[in-house]
Structure 1
Amino acid sequence: MYIENTGLESLVVDLRLLKEIMHKHDLFVDGQWDYERITFDKKYVIKEGTYYLRVFGYTEDGDIGSGQAEITLKKPVLGKHYYPFGVEYGEDEVFPENLVKDCEKTLQQVLEELKPYVQA
């Protein structure tokens, strides 16, 4: 499920700053990056299952591994994990309302911290 109207889409942020702010809000990389793409995950384990809030980003001008990149953020998504298949984001998925609200709150807090530093 895409999380709409977060204000994060298309923001351009220095990777070091982005990692610091995302970490404050429990969004971690944990190896999900390559030379031009990166994914920040927040894991939720609740009675309905395991869910991931994911914020994707990419760079056009650097190498994420070097730590010297400007990251352009993409639309955040919420997905449910199914063992052993992975995370599903489909329209058929049902997401608990309190989970969606927490994800929206987390993304709003991230946006507020990023605002002074970003270039749209």
Structure 2
Amino acid sequence: MIPMDSRVENRIYSLYVLEELLKPEGYVIASNWDYDNGHFDLKIDDEGKYYYLRIPFYAVAGSLDYPGVTVRLEKPFLLAHQYEKGIDEDSRGGAFQGTFNQFQPPIDPDAHIPNDYIDIGKQLVEKLEQLVIPEG
């Protein structure tokens, strides 16, 4: 995990507005959210490892399952997960086995992030700032 300095940190937004701005760019709200916190993920690459730019957020008015919730963005960071190769490719277990293997934990949840991806992350954070911080 590599924290990325950003002007979005500690800014407050309607979650609905953030979704309208970020989803067209490829961001998704990760499935492991809670009622008071969650994060947007942008997949950068999935060649051998999964590289993401993650933007955590916390509810400041309402809860995440409530329409109109307001959230505060936290410091974005780069994240790399490495999964065991061949699990999804092995069809010997059939559909039943695949149902369980899709939820496999990463073999390295905090894998090394090469400098090239750090540079990409910096560019993505700049674009994020342009998307969500009003000019003026």
TM-score normalised per structure 2: 0.71
CA-CA distance at 1:56 after TM superposition: 0.5
Match of 2:109 among 88, 104, 110: 88
Partner residue, 1:99: 117
Deviations 1:8-42 (A, max 9, x none): 11111111111111213211114332211121111
Aligned residues: 114
2:130 pairs with 1:109: no
Paired residue type of 2:105: F
Deviations 1:39-67 (A, max 9, x none): 11112335452212211000122121123
SS in 1 for 2:65: helix
Distance 1:65 1:22 in 2: 19
2:83 pairs with 1:62: no
Paired residue type of 1:27: Y
Which deviates more, 13-22 or 43-52? 43-52
Contact map agreement 1:10 1:72 (CA 8 A) in 2: yes
Structure 2 residue ranges without an equivalent (≥5):
84-103
Partner residue, 2:73: 73
SS in 2 for 1:59: strand
Distance 1:5 1:46 in 2: 24
